[in-house]
């Protein structure tokens, strides 16, 4: 039917009285929509979706079963939010997608739900997700991240807080990107990226600390100096994991200890520095 048709709203949906609903919207049974939310023309919301307060949903966006969205989010035109996982075989039960508060999700982004009954894809708060970004099943995105156009996260990827991923970055399954790391445009990442580092887009290798990001986030020069010292131990002295831990385990700097903990718990190994 054309978008000029009246909205089709199930009587079993729970919709706050002040929700603005555009022409041609389709709202299924079991949907809950909080006050102040605005649905543009042609939005489709499938069964059992929950939307919080003051969300703005753009033209033609589809929000699929298993999705829960918090408050004050902006989802631009033609996004697919909560699509089924891109995995072979469809017999396993599908999981959920949870999106926090104050996120901006731009045009044509696709975000998949988790796999299995307990599988969850999770996006935190205050993230900026640019057009054509793909967030795969069971991935976890923290807070205050920036995912630039055409970034692709395969399944089970973890992006920690304040990470920046450049244009067209591709992250392999089950990789972790540590807090306040920055990955340059078009990089292919197949190992874990330590917190606070800078990855070169062309080579995919670590080329130093993310000094600009650290300064913008208010880290002191003394902390940056401590991180530089730890960086040399981890990436420049050709030590194995046990030797690095032995060298740094008594370090007093909290951020250095965070890098060390990340290294100790890495299952894929760290992305290496460019020689």
Catalytic residues: 137-138, 155
β-strand pairing of 176-177 with 20-21: unpaired
State CA 80 to chain mean position distance. Answer: 15
Backbone angles phi, psi at 39, to 5 degrees: -110, 120
* Strands, sheet with 188-189, edge to edge from the N-terminal-most edge strand: 8-9, 26-27, 44-45, 62-63, 80-83, 110-112, 134-135, 152-153, 170-171, 188-189
Residues belonging to the chain: 275
């Amino acid at each position: 039917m054309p978008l000029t048709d009246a909205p089709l709203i199930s009587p079993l949906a729970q919709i706050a009285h002040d929700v603005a609903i555009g022409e041609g919207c389709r709202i299924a049974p079991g949907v809950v929509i909080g006050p102040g939310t605005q649905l543009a023309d042609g939005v489709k919301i499938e069964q059992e979706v929950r939307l919080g307060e003051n969300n703005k949903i753009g033209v033609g966006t589809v929000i699929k079963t298993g999705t829960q969205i918090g408050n004050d989010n902006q989802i631009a035109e033609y996004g697919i939010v909560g699509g089924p996982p891109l995995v072979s075989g469809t017999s396993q039960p599908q999981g959920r997608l949870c999106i926090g508060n104050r996120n901006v999700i731009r045009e044509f982004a696709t975000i998949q739900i988790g796999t299995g009954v307990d599988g969850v894809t999770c996006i935190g708060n205050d993230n900026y997700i640019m057009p054509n970004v793909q967030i795969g099943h069971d991935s976890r995105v923290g807070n205050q991240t920036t995912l630039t156009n055409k970034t692709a996260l395969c399944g089970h990827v973890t992006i920690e807080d304040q990470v920046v991923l450049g244009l067209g970055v591709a992250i392999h399954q089950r990789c972790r990107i540590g807090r306040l790391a920055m990955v340059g445009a078009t990089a292919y990442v197949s190992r874990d990226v330590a917190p606070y580092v800078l990855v070169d887009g062309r080579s995919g290798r670590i080329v130093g600390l993310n000094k600009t990001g650290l300064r913008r986030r208010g880290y002191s020069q003394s902390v940056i100096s401590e991180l530089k010292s730890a960086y040399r131990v981890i990436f420049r002295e050709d030590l194995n994991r046990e030797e690095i831990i032995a060298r740094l385990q008594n370090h007093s700097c909290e951020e250095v200890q965070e890098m060390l903990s990340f290294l100790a718990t890495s299952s894929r190994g760290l992305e290496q520095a460019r020689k």
